[in-house]
A and B are shown apart, each in its own frame.
Chain A
Amino acid sequence: MILLNFMDKIDVETPRRLYFDLEKLFKAYCLYDGHIDHPLELLEKQIHGDLEAYFKSNPSDPSALGFHIGLDQIFTDSISIVMNYGIDFPLSQIFRNHQVSFLSLEREILPSQLRRWCLKVRDLSRVEKSTGPSLLSTFFWSNPLPHIRTHLATKIQECQKKNQKPAKNDLISAWHKRNDRWMNAGAEHLTRGLEATKPMSAEEFSRLKHLVETYRDNLFNPNASLLSESENTILSTELGKMDSSQIQESLTAWNLSAVDYVTRDLESNDQSLKDELLANALKILQDFRPGSILLLFRYLQAMDLEKLFPIKSRILHDLKNALLSPESMDSVIDATSIAERLQTAIEILELIDPDRYTIFIDHCIVKNQRPALILFLERLIAKNLDFESLLWSWGEERLAKLIPAVQRTQWSRKEAFFEKAILSTYPPLVRASSRNLLSIRLPETLAFDLFKKLPVGTQELWIRVFKESPMSDAWRPFLLRLAKSMLWIGLPNESRQKSIEVFLRYLRGTSLPLLDSWISARSFRLWPKYVELRQLILSILLDHESDDIRKEIQEICRRESRVFFQDPELKDRLKRRGGLVK
């Protein structure tokens, strides 16, 4: 954060910002020094984030770095100045006199000493307001946060390779961020630099020796780093983050190995080992680290079933009980709303009894988390369970809300399921299934009987689906029967209009005589029987542009234009369409 401010453009505000940043550093240092330990992780994360963001957006040349200030001394490439000016001496004057462009705190600094520096820089801030920008361009600290220094050094190297994309470090992404991502990648994908495994040669050792002899001068020169960029990153991240789940997981693997050995080779029954294994497993459960729980589950799957069945079933029992506690369920379910954690959370959910899946499903329905729901259903389908029975076991009310998610799965039998669902006696389920109407194959009679029984709202939905979805020839017989019936006449006006459009679209010429029967029907002599309906049909026919029935429509228009009681405006349009006027 300090570097961020000082490598930014220098203005009169810079010292003031430095003061605030020093205050932050002071607090960070106090936290780091053991006064408070927990919030630091967040703070460091923020610092790293700031620095990374800065280096990404400002690939400026950091080669000017070359000056650092100790607590009581200033070092440059050529001079070393003892800080004997006293606390009242204006710091800005010192910086100016010595062309300070780079500032660093030395190691072993105490909070109280850091505080003094805060105050000094605050003084500088006051002076600068009246005298203009400082020469101070960078403020950089080595220790007390060495992993930030190494991180920084790495970033500086990255900046120097401006056009090179920084290599993604598998170790960092696969292991150290595992908890953040609720992933447990194991150690399969780790990569370390060659320097981690290759013993040093005598020449290299001499080179390092030379480097460390000139330690102070080279400390902040990235080129003099003893480690490669990636190794620096790996180790600084590693040392900066205490991963307790790694400890539990590794211990569990050791215990399993020992228990397996005892059971396999000695045929003995070492209860203490089993107790230890149980205790470790329970700790994993108590800490509730989903990644570790998954790993434990995989360990258990790998165990020899016959000999270790009692201990395996005991752990599995405890594991499921722990997962089923309301807090655990809440924790897992909450995680499904975070994209990176979704996969692990869903895998965890699969470990619990199917009877309890409904807790998660209800949550997703309420929160409208459809992607999570779809992923969950897909995984259940992949397990070759009797998925259809499972769906029905969740109840029709829930199923009605699940239908959209089921529709989006790759389940091969979903059409058959919708066929069954649409025949349900539970109206919301029928309505929900109706959205997938065109993928369903229902015999014409069955479909027509069903349509008759549907509430008006669902009937309207059917018409809308026919109107808005791609055509399906399988439904033509049903629509013909519907067009011949009075059922669609009873629908609200908007749906009637859509029905007419659907008939024209599906039935083409076949629909015209049927529609014409509504147009030409008379109450007595010349008076139209269905005034509104005939006008509606005619206006739709007038707008209909299909070539294959153009002639028939023209004929109807010509005939209707001669009707005495026709609406004048409609009459004019009919005449034009009928070709009677141009």
Chain B
Amino acid sequence: MRSSSEVYARFFEVLCRVYDAFEQDQAIGLQDFGFEFQAFEELSEIDRVSLFTLRSVDRTTRALPQIGTNTALMLSAWLKGLRIPAEICREIALAGALHPLTLTAVRGGDSKSAERSYRSIKSIQVLSKMLPLSDLQKLILLEWPIPFGDNGTYRIYDHLMYQHFGSRMLRIAASFQQFLVTDPGLSAESVVAKVSSSGLGCDQSLVRILIQWLAVHLKWSA
């Protein structure tokens, strides 16, 4: 039986390989990726929470895979806490692990432009060649960079669409992890405060639920 730290280290290592393969446009063996994530799922909820909060302060040379790993960990624990079915948890959490890879596609340009959707879809097509992505994962990877707009909707191809809750959760988790990883001095409480107040385009109702969930596991007043 591996310790939670070993599980984390192993998943991080595998994710680094996925990121390398993405940069070099190579295919990758999938067995490791799925297997290592399963090991994550076997950890208890509290173990997962302490892992992503503790590990966030360890600065590594690979920030993006670290953000991906922590995001996957956070999402899997949070979704489990909300009693989302295991299959959906896995899909959303794995999308969370891969989300930094879509960052380059969405940087620059108008967030509503067709060019951006083209670039995003192309990057997801590249990812799909490496790893078989489900439709939910594809949608989440497309939607998460979009800020939570009016009533959680956004416009694409002249149609108003409603953001999937997985995309909104990923945006929150990704913002949370970016703050934690890039500034290890911050406590989880300060990060939540930042996510909730800085207008990062997160669904604030889900942020409240995150606060409620984290409160079970973290000692806020400490």
Are B215 and A213 in contact, with the CB atoms below 8 A? yes
- Flag whether A514 is at the interface (Cβ < 8 A): no
Are B209 and A258 in contact, with the CB atoms below 8 A? no
CA distance A208 to B197 in the complex (A): 13
Chain A residues touching B, range:
35 or more
Q: A201-B197, A226-B209 are in contact. List 9 more A-B contacts (CB 8 A).
A: A190-B153, A192-B151, A196-B205, A200-B204, A202-B197, A235-B206, A246-B162, A261-B114, A261-B115
B184-204: which residues lie under 8 A (CB-CB) from chain A? 189, 193, 196-199, 203-204
- A226, A227, A234, A254: the one contacting B142 at CB < 8 Å is A254
CA distance A341 to B212 in the complex (A): 39
A107: chain B residues within 8 A (beta carbon): 216
Given contacts A273-B121, A276-B125, contact A196 B204 (CB under 8 A): yes
- Flag whether B207 is at the interface (Cβ < 8 A): yes
Given contacts A175-B162, A250-B139, A299-B157, contact A187 B151 (CB under 8 A): yes
CA distance A258 to B120 in the complex (A): 9
B165: chain A residues within 8 A (beta carbon): 235, 238-239
Interface string of B115-140 (1 = CB under 8 A from A): 10110111001000000000110110
Question: How many whole Å from B160's CB to the nearest CB in chain A?
Answer: 4
Interface string of A272-305 (1 = CB under 8 A from B): 1100100010010000000000000001001000
A538-573: which residues lie under 8 A (CB-CB) from chain B? none
Interface string of A201-221 (1 = CB under 8 A from B): 110010011001101000000
Are B205 and A195 in contact, with the CB atoms below 8 A? yes
Are A145 and B157 in contact, with the CB atoms below 8 A? no
Given contacts A202-B197, A212-B211, contact A247 B156 (CB under 8 A): no
A37: chain B residues within 8 A (beta carbon): 85, 87
- Flag whether B83 is at the interface (Cβ < 8 A): yes
A227-275: which residues lie under 8 A (CB-CB) from chain B? 227, 231, 234-235, 238-239, 242, 244, 246-251, 253-258, 260-262, 264-265, 272-273
Most chain A Cβ neighbours within 10 Å, of B88, B118, B122, B161: B118
Are B215 and A205 in contact, with the CB atoms below 8 A? no
DSSP class of B's interface residues: helix, strand, loop or mixed?
Answer: helix
Are B151 and A191 in contact, with the CB atoms below 8 A? yes
- B125, B136, B220: the one contacting A213 at CB < 8 Å is B220
Are A226 and B204 in contact, with the CB atoms below 8 A? no
Q: Which 6 pairs show the lowest CB-CB distances between chains A and B?
A: A212-B215, A261-B114, A257-B157, A200-B196, A187-B162, A187-B160
- A208, A235, A264: the one contacting B205 at CB < 8 Å is A235
A256: chain B residues within 8 A (beta carbon): 157
Are A299 and B203 in contact, with the CB atoms below 8 A? no
- Flag whether A32 is at the interface (Cβ < 8 A): yes
Question: How many whole Å from A141's CB to the nearest CB in chain B?
Answer: 12
B118: chain A residues within 8 A (beta carbon): 257-258, 261-262, 273
27 contacts between A and B (CB under 8 A): A32-B83, A34-B85, A147-B83, A186-B160, A190-B152, A197-B148, A197-B150, A197-B204, A200-B196, A205-B193, A213-B221, A227-B209, A235-B209, A246-B164, A247-B136, A247-B139, A247-B164, A248-B135, A250-B164, A251-B138, A253-B161, A254-B117, A254-B156, A258-B114, A261-B118, A273-B121, A299-B159
Chain B residues touching A, range:
35 or more
Are B220 and A198 in contact, with the CB atoms below 8 A? no
- Flag whether A188 is at the interface (Cβ < 8 A): yes
CA distance A543 to B115 in the complex (A): 87
- Flag whether A144 is at the interface (Cβ < 8 A): yes
A197: chain B residues within 8 A (beta carbon): 148, 150-151, 204
A171: chain B residues within 8 A (beta carbon): 151
Are A208 and B211 in contact, with the CB atoms below 8 A? yes
- Flag whether B107 is at the interface (Cβ < 8 A): no
Are B157 and A253 in contact, with the CB atoms below 8 A? yes
Question: How many whole Å from B138's CB to the nearest CB in chain A?
Answer: 6
CA distance A227 to B211 in the complex (A): 11
Given contacts A196-B151, A253-B161, contact A227 B205 (CB under 8 A): yes
CA distance A192 to B168 in the complex (A): 14
DSSP class of A's interface residues: helix, strand, loop or mixed?
Answer: helix
Are B215 and A215 in contact, with the CB atoms below 8 A? yes
B83: chain A residues within 8 A (beta carbon): 32, 143-147
- Flag whether B158 is at the interface (Cβ < 8 A): yes
Are A212 and B212 in contact, with the CB atoms below 8 A? yes
CA distance A192 to B150 in the complex (A): 8
Are A226 and B206 in contact, with the CB atoms below 8 A? no
- Flag whether A310 is at the interface (Cβ < 8 A): no
CA distance A299 to B161 in the complex (A): 13
CA distance A254 to B138 in the complex (A): 10
- Flag whether B208 is at the interface (Cβ < 8 A): yes
Are B143 and A250 in contact, with the CB atoms below 8 A? yes
- Flag whether B86 is at the interface (Cβ < 8 A): yes
Are B82 and A257 in contact, with the CB atoms below 8 A? no
Are B136 and A226 in contact, with the CB atoms below 8 A? no
Given contacts A208-B211, A258-B118, contact A146 B196 (CB under 8 A): no
CA distance A239 to B85 in the complex (A): 10
Are A257 and B135 in contact, with the CB atoms below 8 A? no
A261's closest neighbor in chain B, by CB? B114
- Flag whether A193 is at the interface (Cβ < 8 A): yes
CA distance A262 to B122 in the complex (A): 11
- Flag whether B84 is at the interface (Cβ < 8 A): yes
CA distance A212 to B215 in the complex (A): 6
Are B205 and A231 in contact, with the CB atoms below 8 A? yes
A507-540: which residues lie under 8 A (CB-CB) from chain B? none
B162's closest neighbor in chain A, by CB? A187
CA distance A147 to B197 in the complex (A): 26
CA distance A484 to B158 in the complex (A): 71
Given contacts A196-B205, A199-B197, A208-B211, contact A253 B159 (CB under 8 A): yes
- A147, A227, A276: the one contacting B121 at CB < 8 Å is A276
A238: chain B residues within 8 A (beta carbon): 165
Interface string of A312-338 (1 = CB under 8 A from B): 000000000000000000000000000
Are B121 and A226 in contact, with the CB atoms below 8 A? no
A214's closest neighbor in chain B, by CB? B215
Are A190 and B209 in contact, with the CB atoms below 8 A? no
Most chain B Cβ neighbours within 10 Å, of A200, A202, A227: A200
B31-81: which residues lie under 8 A (CB-CB) from chain A? 45
Are A257 and B209 in contact, with the CB atoms below 8 A? no
Question: How many whole Å from B149's CB to the nearest CB in chain A?
Answer: 8
Question: How many whole Å from A406's CB to the nearest CB in chain B?
Answer: 37
Question: How many whole Å from A336's CB to the nearest CB in chain B?
Answer: 27
Are A200 and B152 in contact, with the CB atoms below 8 A? no
Are B84 and A239 in contact, with the CB atoms below 8 A? yes
Question: How many whole Å from B22's CB to the nearest CB in chain A?
Answer: 17
- B136, B197, B212: the one contacting A215 at CB < 8 Å is B212
